[in-house]
Amino acid sequence: MAESPNLTPDEQTMLIAQLQSEATALRDELDETNQGVLALYAELDEQAEQLRQASDLKSRFLSYMSHEFRTPLGSILSITGLLTDELDGPLSPEQHKQVAFVSGAARELSDMVDDLLDLAKIEAGRISISPAWFDMLDLFAALRGMFRPIVDGSAVDLIFEEPVGLPRLYTDDKKLAQILRNFISNSLKFTTRGEVRVSARLENADHVRFAVSDTGIGIAPELHGALFEDFSQVDSPLQKRLRGTGLGLSLCKRFAELLGGEVGVQSTPGTGSTFFVIIPLAIAVEPADET
Query: pLDDT (tens digit, 9 = 90+) per residue, 108-159?
Result: 777 777 777 777 777 766 777 889 999 989 999 999 988 887 887 788 999 9
Protein fold of 132-280: Heat Shock Protein 90 (3.30.565)
The whole-angstrom separation of Cα 203 and Cα 75 is 44
pLDDT value, residue 197: 95
Boundaries of every domain in the chain: 11-127, 132-280
List, in sequence order, every beta strand (DSSP E) within the chain. Answer: 132-134, 156-160, 169-171, 194-202, 207-214, 262-268, 272-280
The overall average pLDDT reported for the chain is 81
Q: Binning pLDDT at 50, 70 and 90, where does residue 22 land?
A: confident
pLDDT of 218 higher than 60: yes
Protein fold of 11-127: Helix Hairpins (1.10.287)
Q: What angle do CA 284, 287, 289 make, to 5 degrees?
A: 150
The whole-angstrom separation of Cα 126 and Cα 142 is 26
pLDDT value, residue 67: 65
The whole-angstrom separation of Cα 139 and Cα 152 is 20
Amino acid at 235: D
Is the pLDDT higher at 282 or at 2?
282
Partner residues linked to 100 by β-bridges: none
Gyration radius of the chain over CA positions:
30
The whole-angstrom separation of Cα 78 and Cα 76 is 5
